Amino acid sequence: MFKRLLIATDTDAASPRILECLPEGNPLGVEEIVLVHVAGPDAAGAADRIAAARRGLEARGFCVKVDLPAGVPTRAILEAADRHDASVIVVGSHHRGTLRGALVGSTSYSVLHETDRPVLLVRLWGDGACDAPAGPAQCLRHILFPTDFSETAERAFLYLEALARAAGSEVTLYHVHDRARIDPYLRDRLPEFDRVDRERLERLKAHLEANGAGPCHVEVSYGVPAQRILHLARNKDFSLVVMGTQGRGFLPEVYMGSTANAVARHGPLPVLFVPKRR
């Protein structure tokens, strides 16, 4: 599941902060890390920084390769992911301005929309800092898992389970009753929906806690899913979000649904996006 990580770097993303999202001791069973940097005008300086990142990872016991393709960044990254058969693509999400409106750089955003592989989107600011708590021990500390119980969410749950088991992570399982599906004709059935979905979350909670996760919590709310997920992510002490890229009723030709798209653009935390199996 995490056998081969492809980390798409630029001058900031090769910084130690993005690499700190890899937990100490390799509990995820990563066999190889591929550092990919698409050649640009500062090729010599980038090579030095990537070499330093490689040494740091190798000092932690990881097997590391470096790939320096040329071409359009998005296409070069996706081709490298295919070439190396990456299990997960890791990209940095940059923000250098004063507004927190659109946090995803064009390359990262394009990768998210065009790949059928899981993508870990890590928040990076102008100085290369990351919004996640610093340090390998912190990045899997408390995981938020929004779910609509779709097929894609079920696949994302497998990744959540692997992460939580490896790190003993605290987990919050979260479901939002979608107002657009309920109002106005099904509003009187909201208590019934709430009971049924809490029971489903409780079963997921019991499974996680029986299989090595830390304390798990269940939360249910009502409203616009993207808004409620972003509100919870901003107002509680999470270190990572894990979610599917498409919900129920998605179009087969679209890789990211509207909720995942909003979390990618506006979310405050690293997010592991898991697509539907194709």
Just give the CATH number of 142-242+252-269. Answer: 3.40.50.620
Q: What are the tens digits of pLDDT across the range 107-119?
A: 888 999 999 999 9
Alpha-carbon gap, residue 93 to 178, rounded angstroms: 28
Q: What are the tens digits of pLDDT across the range 232-277?
A: 999 999 999 999 998 665 555 456 789 999 999 999 999 999 998 7
What is the SS3 assignment for 211? coil
Judged by average pLDDT, the poorest of 50-54, 83-87, 158-162, 246-250 is: 246-250
Task: Look at residue 100 and tell me whether its pLDDT is greater than 50.
Answer: no
Alpha-carbon gap, residue 44 to 52, rounded angstroms: 13
CATH superfamily of 4-125: HUPs (3.40.50.620)
Query: For the packed helices 258-266 and 106-114, what is the interaxial angle rounded to 10 degrees?
Result: 160
The reply to whether 4-125 and 142-242+252-269 are identical in fold is yes
pTM: 0.90
Determine how many CB atoms are found less than 10 A away from the CB of residue 116.
12
Domain residue ranges in the chain = 4-125, 142-242+252-269
